[in-house]
Amino acid sequence: MDLRQADPKGLVRESYRIEGITLGECRSIFMDWALSLPLGANTPDALRSLLAEYASGNPGHPMTGVLEAALTAPEAPKRRGGRAARVGL
């Protein structure tokens, strides 16, 4: 995916330029980035493009960690049914 398509507003690019940016700020920027993607955009491809462009030169940057975490599939929810759900453990 083209970098301009992957980061239409340049939010991720700018986050890597902010000195001293925190993990919380990177998460907030990530949410803005995700909401700015066009409908139908392939989010995993966009994340891979961004990581390919920025991660190698910024391995310890908090945005790198946020982007890598976004590529990780969430765990399947664990359903607690019956008495255990009503009473708790």
pLDDT (tens digit, 9 = 90+) per residue, 8-25?
Answer: 999 999 999 999 999 999
Average pLDDT, the chain: 89
Q: Confirm whether 30 is domain-assigned.
A: yes
Average pLDDT over residues 23-32: 97
Q: Confirm whether 18 is domain-assigned.
A: yes
Tell me what pLDDT residue 20 has: 95
* Eight-class DSSP state of 25: H
Which tokens in the block code for residue 81?
């049914």
Read off the pTM.
0.79
Residue 53: domain span: 3-71
For residues 23 and 47, what is the distance between their CA atoms, to the nearest angstrom? 17
Average pLDDT over residues 25-47: 94
Q: Confirm whether 76 is domain-assigned.
A: no
Q: Confirm whether 86 is domain-assigned.
A: no
Q: What is the pLDDT of residues 48-63, one digit of tens each?
A: 999 999 998 888 999 9
For residues 8 and 4, what is the distance between their CA atoms, to the nearest angstrom? 5
Q: At what angle do helices 62-71 and 23-36 cross, to 10 degrees?
A: 50
Q: Confirm whether 24 is domain-assigned.
A: yes
Q: Confirm whether 77 is domain-assigned.
A: no
Structural domain count, the chain: 1
